[in-house]
Amino acid sequence: MTDTITLTGLVATEPRHLTTSEGLPIASFRLASTQRRYDRAKQTWLDGETNWYTITAFRQLASNATLSIKKGERVIVTGRLRIKEWTNGERTGTTVDIEAEAIGHDLTWGTAAYVRSVSMATVTSAHQASEPPASDEFPVGAAEDDAPAAADAPAAEPVGAVPF
């Protein structure tokens, strides 16, 4: 069974990015999440215990997270929870991993500017769809006069632009 969890916390390490030999992008970082509560008698905030998580992202999320997230920033993460017991000689422990489905800055603590990114496959297919066919690509029986005039052709969008 897979449990989905949403966490907020501080990015504790710079995100590491690697690409597997098959071309799969992977990013990972440590997240520190500390619960706080307000003590009315002392009129101060008190920190609870800190929970530590290893966050792992794949594919486009990995690439975007590596470019967007830095150590010390507050983030919100939603993903699949994985708890693993380990033994290393005489030492044993538990690791808590989150396979991220979404990562973003926690806007409770600041602002962010969103920039939409697209994969190169999307850019290539959008670019190809906006190009008129080459002269040898006319349907059988079509005359060259049936070709769209340059004024009738849609304007080409800049590479990387995404129509909304």
Q: Are strands 3-11 and 91-105 parallel, antiparallel or unpaired?
A: unpaired
pLDDT at 122: 55
Q: Which residues, 6+ apart, have CB-to-CB distance to 113 below 8 Å?
A: none
pLDDT at 36: 86
Q: What is the largest CA-CA distance in the chain?
A: 88
**What is the DSSP secondary structure assignment for residue 161, as one 8-state letter?**
-
Let me know: does 74 contact 105? Beta carbons within 8 Å: yes
pLDDT in tens, 21-57: 999 999 999 999 998 888 899 899 898 899 999 999 9
Centre a 10 Å sphere on the Cβ of residue 58 and count the other Cβ atoms it contains. 16
Tokens of 42: 């002392």
pLDDT in tens, 49-85: 999 999 999 999 999 999 999 999 999 999 999 999 9
Of residues 128, 133, 134, the one with CA closest to residue 159: 128
CA atoms within 13 A of residue 6's CA, in its CB half-sphere? 5
Phi, psi of 70 (to 5 degrees): -130, 155
pLDDT at 148: 47
Domain locations in the chain? 3-105, 118-164
pLDDT in tens, 103-160: 999 998 888 888 887 765 554 555 555 555 554 444 454 444 444 444 444 444 444 4
* Domain range 3-105, its CATH number among 2.40.50.140, 3.40.140.10, 3.10.130.10, 1.10.3720.10: 2.40.50.140
Let me know: does 100 contact 60? Beta carbons within 8 Å: no
Task: Using the predicted structure, report yes or no on whether residue 102 has a pLDDT greater than 60.
Answer: yes
pLDDT at 134: 52
